[in-house]
């Protein structure tokens, strides 16, 4: 059969190669494990092969009832939640931020693997349902324009869109914005993080939040300072309540040196 080649055989070969590589980038997730690349026998909700799925560090043990982070003891609350005002009702996460969970977050966030969002969101939807959360709209923790432009997208926004679609909840696109580009949270302990995020967020469309139960979505929760500050701003705009859902959260550790009850998370690029 003669191939239709309006720009000559060579040009169409190039186009064919280009299309194949685009297709591979777009659809590789449909048949291969997101982490090890092994071919999957059939599509599944996690996007992972059985081995990788079993290694996923699920956050299903002792957690702080407020922020949902793993605790080293059997206390009900971590020190940060005991000693600080938290503006969200609760925060919950699918995984502890280590091992395979870090690989997924980094792929989504720094590896330009946007298609990870769909699978990570599936796990977050399951968590939402397991926890019996009851919200009526979804919002992503906003990135500053500068950071979003540099990355090309906001990973929290990708997750939040997928979650709202799955749960059939309103997606409040751009209702909250980041108005100040604060210092990177990753280098700071909790007390400094709280100061650092204060005044960094604002609500653009106040009426959109009135009386609503908001599900606030992010990829990782570390000290919860950002989540709490965004929740504070949403409540001020008359949201009824705010629940936080993240793919992962760091393990709560008491630090002896930072003096504010939280360790620094220097290795993490949040």
* Residues at the site binding Zn ion, with contacts judged by CB under 5 A: 33, 35-36, 38, 49, 52, 64, 66-67, 78, 81
Closer residue to Zn ion (CB): 47 or 142: 47
Least distance CB 38 / Zn ion (angstroms): 5
Q: Report the 3 state secondary structure along 104-148.
A: HHHHHHCCCCCCHHHHHHHHHHHHHHHCCCCCCEEEECCCCHHHH
Rounded CA separation 254/270 (Å): 20
**Structure tokens that stand for 261 in this block:** 């009850």
Least distance CB 90 / Zn ion (angstroms): 10
3 state DSSP class of 19 = helix
Least distance CB 2 / Zn ion (angstroms): 43
Closer residue to Zn ion (CB): 39 or 207: 39
Closer residue to Zn ion (CB): 75 or 235: 75
Least distance CB 64 / Zn ion (angstroms): 3
Could you tell me how many residues make up the chain? 270
The conformational region for residue 261 under phi > 0 = left, psi -120 to 50 = alpha, else beta, is left
Rounded CA separation 114/107 (Å): 8
Closer residue to Zn ion (CB): 175 or 191: 191
């Amino acid at each position: 059969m003669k191939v239709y080649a309006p720009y000559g055989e060579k040009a169409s070969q190039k186009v064919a190669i280009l299309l194949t590589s685009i297709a591979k980038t777009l659809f590789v997730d449909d048949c291969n494990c997101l982490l090890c690349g092994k071919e999957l026998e059939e599509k599944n909700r996690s996007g992972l092969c059985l081995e990788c799925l079993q290694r996923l560090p699920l956050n299903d043990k002792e957690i702080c009832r407020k922020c949902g982070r793993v605790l080293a003891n059997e206390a009900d609350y971590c020190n940060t939640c005991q000693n600080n005002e938290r503006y969200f009702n609760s925060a919950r996460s699918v995984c502890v931020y280590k091992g395979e969970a870090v690989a997924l977050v980094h792929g989504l966030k720094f590896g330009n693997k946007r298609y990870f969002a769909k699978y990570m969101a599936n796990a977050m939807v399951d968590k939402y349902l397991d926890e019996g959360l009851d919200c009526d709209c979804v919002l992503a923790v906003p990135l500053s324009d500068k950071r979003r432009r540099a990355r090309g997208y906001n990973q929290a926004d990708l997750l939040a869109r997928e979650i709202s679609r799955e749960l059939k909840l309103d997606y409040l696109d751009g209702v909250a914005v980041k108005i100040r580009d604060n210092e990177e949270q990753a280098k700071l302990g909790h007390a400094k993080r709280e100061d650092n995020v204060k005044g960094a967020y604002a609500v653009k469309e106040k009426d959109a939040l009135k009386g609503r139960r908001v599900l606030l979505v992010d990829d990782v929760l570390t000290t919860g300072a950002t989540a709490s500050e965004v929740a504070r701003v949403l409540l001020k705009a008359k949201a009824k309540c705010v629940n936080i859902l993240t793919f992962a959260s760091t393990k709560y550790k008491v630090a002896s040196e930072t003096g504010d009850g939280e360790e620094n998370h220097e290795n993490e690029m949040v």
